[in-house]
C-alpha cells in the first residue's frame, strides 16, 4: 500500500493511515453519535486532493471513477462515471446531491447525512470539480437538513471548498426523490417528474447541464477521490465493487442502517439486525423492489447479479422482513394504496391505473371478492412503460412480485381464508397528505 498522500494517475491519493480497505467506510465508529465535526472528519479521512484545474486532469479523475466501478446508490444503479462524463462535456454545469429519501421504510441517507455530513459535502465538492461546476446543491431530507446546512456553514468558514455548496430541505413524498422531480422542486417548488428527453445532463436546473447523484454515491466518490479505485474495489464483488448502506426493517431485533460489502449473503446481512424468528418473506430494494420468500433469498448474495435469479435487485438498499404471522397480501395492499395516492397526477396509468390495481389488491386482501384475471391484465398494461415517469412501472413490479411470493396465500384468500394472524401493520406507510 502506498504511503498516505501518494498520488495515483489523475490526482487521486492512495492509502489510508490506520484504515484498511474494510468496513466501516461511510459511518465512522468510535466517534460521537451525532454529526462528525469537520475537524474529526479530516482527522479520520484527511483532506481532499487539490481540485483539478485542467480538462485533461478532470478526464483522468473520471477515468479513475470508472475503474472503481462506482454505481448509483439511490436505486437505479447507473454507472457514476457515465453521468460525470455526460455533464462534464458541457458548460455551465451544476451538481445536485439527492438526499430526499422519500422511501418510507428507508433511513440510510438520513443516517449518513446525520452522522457523516462532511463526507457527503466532500462528494458534492469532488463532483463539482469533475464536471467543472461552480455550484453544488444538497437537497436533504427535512429531518437532517439543519445538520447538513450547519456542516456546510462550517466548511465555508474554513474555506475548504472551491465550489459554492448550499443545502435545501427536500420536498415530502415518494416521487419527490426522482431526479427530475428534485430539479422541479428547486425550480418551481413542485416536485413532479418530467419526461425525457431532454436528459438532465443536457438541460436540467434552470436549463443548465445537471448532475444529480444520491448522497451515498457522493460519499463513496469522496473516498475514491482520496484513496483510488483499487482501494474502493478491495471489498464487494468484481462486477459490483464497494460497500453499501442497507436499511433493515420489519421483523428484526435491531432495525437500523448497516454498512455491508456488496455480495454479502442476504441471511448474513439480515443477521446484522440481531437474532429474530425466521421471516416468511423479504421485501428487497424498497417499495419499488421485490417480495421474495426467505427460503429463496437467504443464500443469495446482496448484489444485483446475485438477486437477479429471484427477480430482485438491491434497489434503494432496503431489506424488510415480514414475520411469519403477518399477511403479505395485506402489507402489499397497504403499500400499493400508498403508492397510488403518491401519484404525481400527470398521466392516466398513475391516476386511474394504480388506483384500480390498489382497489383489486384491497379486495383480495379482504377476502374472495377480487378478480385475479383482471388484476393480472391491468398489471401487464400499466407496467409496460406507458406512464409519464417510472412510478407506475415500479409500483406494479412490486405488486407482481408479491403475487408470486405469496401465491399460496392468494389461493387461501380467494377461498375466503387468511393464514395471517397479526393485525398490526409491519411496514410504515405515511399518513395521506392533502394535495
d(CA 49, CA 160): 11
Of 322, 344, 374, the position where a domain reaches its end is: 322
Q: What is the DSSP letter of 323?
A: P
For residue 85, report the phi and psi dihedrals to the nearest 5 degrees. Answer: -60, -45
Report CA-CA distances (Å) from 118 to 23, 79, 216, 275: 18, 23, 12, 33
d(CA 57, CA 247): 37
Strand order in the sheet with 318-322: 256-261, 243-250, 318-322, 281-284, 290-293
- The pLDDT of residue 433 is 62
- The pLDDT of residue 387 is 77
d(CA 148, CA 167): 7
Residues 227 and 110 in one domain: yes
Instruction: Give the torsion through C-alpha atoms of 79, 102, 294, 403, to 10 deg.
Output: -100
- Looking up cell 401493520 gives 425
Residues 406 and 307 in one domain: no
Of 288, 322, 356, the position where a domain reaches its end is: 322
- The pLDDT of residue 5 is 30
The CATH number of residue 216's host domain is 3.40.50.11540
d(CA 339, CA 335): 6
Q: Is residue 177 part of a domain?
A: no
Residues 396 and 269 in one domain: no
Block mean pLDDT (10 aa), the chain, length 435: 30 38 77 82 93 85 96 92 94 96 95 97 97 96 97 97 96 94 96 90 95 98 96 96 97 95 97 92 97 97 96 96 96 96 83 92 89 91 79 94 96 92 91 63
User: Which range of residues forms the domain containing residue 301?
Assistant: 243-322
Residues 311 and 342 in one domain: no
Q: Is residue 87 part of a domain?
A: yes
Residues 26 and 82 in one domain: yes
d(CA 354, CA 174): 14
**Domains held by the chain: number:** 3
Taking each continuous run of H as one helix and of E as one strand, the counts in the chain are 17, 11
The CATH number of residue 280's host domain is 3.10.20.600
First to last CA, the chain: 56
Residues 13 and 136 in one domain: yes
- The pLDDT of residue 21 is 54
Burial of 118-150, coded b for 16+ CB within 10 Å and e otherwise, reads bbbbbbbbbbbbbbbbebbbbbbbeebbebbbe
Gyration radius of the chain's alpha carbons: 22
CB atoms within 10 A of CB 307: 22
- pTM of the predicted model, to two decimals? 0.92
Amino acid at each position: 500500500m502506498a504511503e498516505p498522500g501518494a498520488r495515483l494517475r489523475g490526482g487521486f491519493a492512495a492509502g489510508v493511515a490506520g484504515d484498511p480497505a474494510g468496513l466501516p467506510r461511510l459511518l465512522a465508529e468510535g466517534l460521537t453519535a451525532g454529526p462528525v465535526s469537520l475537524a474529526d472528519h479530516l482527522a479520520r479521512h484527511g483532506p481532499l486532493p487539490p481540485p483539478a484545474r485542467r480538462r485533461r486532469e478532470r478526464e483522468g479523475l473520471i477515468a479513475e471513477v470508472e475503474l472503481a466501478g462506482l454505481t448509483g446508490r439511490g436505486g437505479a444503479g447507473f454507472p457514476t462515471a457515465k453521468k460525470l462524463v455526460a455533464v462534464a462535456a458541457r458548460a455551465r454545469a451544476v451538481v445536485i446531491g439527492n438526499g430526499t429519501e422519500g422511501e418510507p421504510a428507508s433511513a440510510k441517507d438520513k443516517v449518513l447525512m446525520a452522522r457523516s455530513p462532511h463526507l457527503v459535502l466532500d462528494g458534492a465538492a469532488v463532483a463539482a470539480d469533475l464536471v467543472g461546476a461552480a455550484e453544488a446543491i444538497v437537497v436533504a431530507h427535512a429531518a437532517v437538513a439543519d445538520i447538513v446546512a450547519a456542516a456546510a456553514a462550517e466548511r465555508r468558514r474554513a474555506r475548504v471548498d472551491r465550489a459554492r455548496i448550499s443545502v435545501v430541505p427536500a420536498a415530502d413524498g415518494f416521487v419527490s426523490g426522482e431526479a427530475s422531480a428534485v430539479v422541479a422542486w428547486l425550480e418551481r417548488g413542485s416536485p413532479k417528474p418530467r419526461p425525457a428527453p431532454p436528459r438532465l445532463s443536457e438541460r436540467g436546473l434552470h436549463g443548465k447541464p445537471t448532475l444529480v447523484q444520491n448522497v451515498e454515491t457522493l460519499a463513496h466518490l469522496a473516498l475514491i477521490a482520496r484513496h483510488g479505485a483499487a482501494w474502493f474495489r478491495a471489498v464487494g464483488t468484481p462486477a459490483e465493487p464497494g460497500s453499501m448502506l442497507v436499511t433493515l426493517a420489519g421483523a428484526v431485533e435491531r432495525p437500523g442502517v448497516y454498512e455491508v460489502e456488496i455480495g454479502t449473503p442476504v441471511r448474513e446481512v439480515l443477521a446484522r439486525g440481531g437474532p429474530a424468528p425466521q421471516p416468511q418473506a423479504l421485501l428487497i430494494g424498497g417499495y419499488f423492489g421485490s417480495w421474495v420468500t426467505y427460503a429463496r433469498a437467504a443464500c443469495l448474495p446482496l448484489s444485483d447479479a446475485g438477486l437477479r435469479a429471484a427477480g430482485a435487485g438491491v434497489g434503494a438498499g432496503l431489506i424488510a422482513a415480514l414475520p411469519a404471522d403477518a399477511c403479505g397480501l395485506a402489507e402489499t395492499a397497504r403499500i400499493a394504496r400508498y403508492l397510488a395516492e403518491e401519484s404525481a397526477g400527470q398521466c392516466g396509468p398513475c391516476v386511474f391505473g394504480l388506483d384500480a390495481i390498489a382497489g383489486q389488491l384491497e379486495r383480495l386482501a379482504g377476502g374472495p371478492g377480487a378478480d385475479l384475471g383482471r388484476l393480472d391484465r391491468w398489471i401487464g398494461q400499466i407496467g409496460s412503460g406507458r406512464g409519464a415517469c417510472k412510478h407506475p412501472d415500479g409500483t406494479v413490479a412490486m405488486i407482481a412480485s408479491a403475487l408470486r411470493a405469496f401465491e399460496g396465500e392468494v389461493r387461501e384468500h380467494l377461498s375466503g381464508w387468511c393464514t395471517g394472524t397479526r393485525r398490526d401493520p409491519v411496514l410504515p406507510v405515511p399518513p395521506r397528505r392533502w394535495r
